A and B are shown apart, each in its own frame.
Chain A
Amino acid sequence: MLAGKAPGLQHPNSNSILRGLIITLAYDDVNRTVTKRLLEKIGCEVTAVSSGFECLSALSNVEMPYRVVILDLQMPEMDGFEVAMKIRKFYGYHWPLIIALTASTEDHVRERCLQMGVNGMIQKPVLLHVMDSELRRALQSASE
């Protein structure tokens, strides 16, 4: 499990909505490294994990108020939906926000995401500006 401190923000006001802790869960090194760096680049403080267990453990740490979990849905040997379900079961439907990364935008995937209480979806491969706007959108609507 890795924790990173975000670099100094250039526009603190516009990025204040993004400031805050995020967990990113991906199975392989490449995707985990890229997603973590992408999030740090947009001003987030990130903890990267590689299992559902690590994810749930991190969330249970009261000293680290995670706001969002970025969850890769297509992982070998791990069901992303199951992880989402467990998060909702233990922590309820309002927190943390869950944003799913998926290779497919098929309807049944969207449906399942909604059922699991996922707050946002991003298609892979992830673009910097797409992550930025989807995060903002989800955080904005959560605060309303």
Chain B
Amino acid sequence: MNTVVAQLQRQFQDYLVSLYQQGFLDNQFTELRKLQDEGTPDFVAEVVSLFFDDCSKLINSMSRSLERPENVDFKQVDSGVHQLKGSSSSVGARRVKNVCISFKECCDVQNREGCLRCLQQVDYEYKMLKTKLQDLFNLEQQIVQAGGAIPQVNIN
């Protein structure tokens, strides 16, 4: 038994579990991992990459809409939050999704200050998740390069 591989696999498992425990990810991420197989080994990485691109674009456009206090397009902001909530929900980005829920509430009552706070928070959360998942994918790569298999992790 290759102990280097076993060690890496252990590290990967612990790290992934910690991401769930700390609320960064939820069950939908598990569903996403189920869709990846030998034929589509980069599926999860590709989807989250699309997600982070979306985050960046939506945050930029919402930021522009919220820029001038006398002229806020809440409809546009609401549309952006809705999209962000939808895609974060599909990939299991739990913290991002939760900020979107508060964000929508601020939008509904046209609270510009609240929206700006939520925008900042959602920006922080997606960037944090991006870093965490990059670390996770790096571990995956190391396992594969060492000749091992990515463990199936059960989240309880």
CB-nearest residue of chain B relative to A77? B79
A23-38 interface code vs B (CB 8 A; 1 in, 0 out):
0000111110110011
Task: Point out which of A30, A41, A76 has the most chain B C-beta atoms below 10 A from its C-beta.
Answer: A30
B89 adjacent to A125 (CB under 8 Å): yes
**Closest beta carbon of chain A to B110's beta carbon, Å:** 19
Number of A-B contacts (CB under 8 A): 57
Q: Once bound together, how far apart are the Cα atoms of A103 and B46, in whole Å?
A: 24
**Which chain A residues border B37 with CB–CB below 8 Å?**
7, 41
Is B86 part of the binding interface, using a Cβ–Cβ cutoff of 8 Å? yes
B83 adjacent to A76 (CB under 8 Å): yes
CB-nearest residue of chain B relative to A130? B31
8 Å CB contact of A125 from B31, B51, B53, B79: B31
**Which chain B residues border A128 with CB–CB below 8 Å?**
31, 34-35
CB-nearest residue of chain B relative to A76? B79
B35 adjacent to A34 (CB under 8 Å): yes
B90 adjacent to A37 (CB under 8 Å): no
Q: How large is the interface on B (under 10, 10 to 19, 20 to 34, 35 or more residues)?
A: 20 to 34
- Which of chain B's residues 50-70 have a Cβ closer than 8 Å to chain A? 50-51, 53-54
Is B40 part of the binding interface, using a Cβ–Cβ cutoff of 8 Å? yes
Dominant secondary structure at the B interface: helix
A1-36 interface code vs B (CB 8 A; 1 in, 0 out):
000000100000000000000000001111101100
Listed in ascending order, the chain B residues whose CB lies under 8 Å from chain A are 28, 31-32, 34-35, 37, 39-40, 43, 46-47, 50-51, 53-54, 79, 82-83, 86-87, 89-92
Listed in ascending order, the chain A residues whose CB lies under 8 Å from chain B are 7, 27-31, 33-34, 37-38, 41, 74, 76, 103, 124-128
A33 adjacent to B50 (CB under 8 Å): yes
**Closest beta carbon of chain A to B98's beta carbon, Å:** 14
B54 adjacent to A29 (CB under 8 Å): yes
8 Å CB contact of A30 from B34, B39, B40, B54: B54
Q: A7-B39, A76-B83, A125-B28 are in contact. Are A31 and B34 (CB under 8 A)?
A: no
